Amino acid sequence: MFEAVLLTVITAATPLLIAALGELVVERSGVLNLGVEGMMIMGAVVGFAVANQTGSGFLGVVAAVGAGMAMSALFGFLVLVLVTNQVATGLALTILGIGFSGMIGEAFIGVPGLKIPELYIPVLSDIPFIGPVFFQQDAIVYLSFALVAAVAYFLFRTRLGLVLRAVGDNHGSAHALGYSVIRIRFAAVLFGGACAGLAGAYMSLAYTPQWVENMTAGRGWIALALVVFSSWLPLRVVVGAYLFGAVSVLNLHAQAVELDIPSQLLSSLPYLATILVLVLISANRRLTLVNTPACLGKPFVPDR
């Protein structure tokens, strides 16, 4: 029983983890992209559609990543080149993504989906308990583990990561030192889009292998909250994502044991938990101010 619960927690947490990691890099570069939900839902529908048409889950995932990147490129052009308001542009991206995904997905409603296969890692998957939970998963779950390590290493152990953080903390100085603020931010935004697209593909090809309108159901927004929760540190994103994964599968398991609680109350728990967590984290100024990128959300017009 406990093993089964843990398995569902991992599948519920993985899309949150991937999307939040991408957004963490974007925000570290000083850009606030509120369009995660829109990029994610586009990843979900494009991934499903391509996998369905080609019969290849791999191509579906690649296409989903591409869709997320295309959406984020649109956002990047407006926010970085035309210096539009980041909050409003991110909202526009979400509205557009929900609309486009509905248009593309109309043909795929009720179509049985394709589930990407699980890869059992030899030897490790035989370990009792730990093996089935962590080493009998699909490739995207392993990729999410690798992504955490890669993002943490990149941000805090590489020169380019240092530059990226510098751009997010003080774009004026970074520009004066000769770094191309816009180019670095654009690259970060594209990475965030790729992650959101991948997270979306996980929703429609692994979590629930089908297409349902609005199937991301606010997970993109929860991913944004997770970045605040983690105070912009990659390892804390893991903790947050798994915590939220646990809260969101409560619904499933409460139904199984027939608790007499309205299902709507259980469904609202992830959103209420998000608010509670944001309050607890934000109330502690020390915790948030240390790592918050100082230029987060501020526009930059290069001085030529």
Partner 1 sequence: MRIELVKRKEHSQMMAMLSPLIAVALTALAAGIIFSISGHNPLVGLYKFFIEPLTQQWSFEATIDKATPLILIACGLSVCYLSNNWNIGAEGQFVIGALFGSILPVLFPSFENAATLPLMLIFGAIGGALWALVPALLKTRFNTNEILTSLMLVYVASLVLDYLVRGPWRDPDGYNFPESRIFSDAATLPEVFGGAMSLSAPITILIAIILAIVLAKTLKGFEIRVMGESPRAGSFAGFSAKGLTLFSFALAGALAGLAGTMEVSGALNQLLPSISPGYGFTAIIVAFLGRLNPIGIIIAGFVLALSYIGGEGVQSAMGVTNEIASVIQGLLLFFVLACDTLILYRIRFVSRHGSQGEASHV
Which positions lie near partner 1, rule CB under 8 A?
A: 34, 38, 74, 78, 81-85, 87-89, 91-100, 102-103, 106, 217-218, 221, 224-225, 228, 262, 264-265, 267-268, 271-272, 274-275, 278-279, 282-283, 285, 288, 301, 303-304
Smallest distance from the beta carbon of 82 to partner 1, in angstroms? 4
Query: Mind giving me the DSSP string for 264-280?
Result: HHHHHHHHHHHHHHHHH
Which residue's CB is nearer to partner 1, number 13 or number 277? Answer: 277
Smallest distance from the beta carbon of 284 to partner 1, in angstroms? 9
Which residue's CB is nearer to partner 1, number 211 or number 221? Answer: 221
Smallest distance from the beta carbon of 101 to partner 1, in angstroms? 8
Which residue's CB is nearer to partner 1, number 6 or number 71? Answer: 71
Structure tokens at 68: 């997320």
Smallest distance from the beta carbon of 222 to partner 1, in angstroms? 8
Which residue's CB is nearer to partner 1, number 54 or number 85? Answer: 85
Structure tokens at 19: 């999307």
Smallest distance from the beta carbon of 228 to partner 1, in angstroms? 6
Smallest distance from the beta carbon of 129 to partner 1, in angstroms? 34
> Using CA of residue 70, residue 71, residue 74, residue 80, what is the dihedral sign?
negative
Which residue's CB is nearer to partner 1, number 87 or number 146? Answer: 87
Which residue's CB is nearer to partner 1, number 77 or number 145? Answer: 77
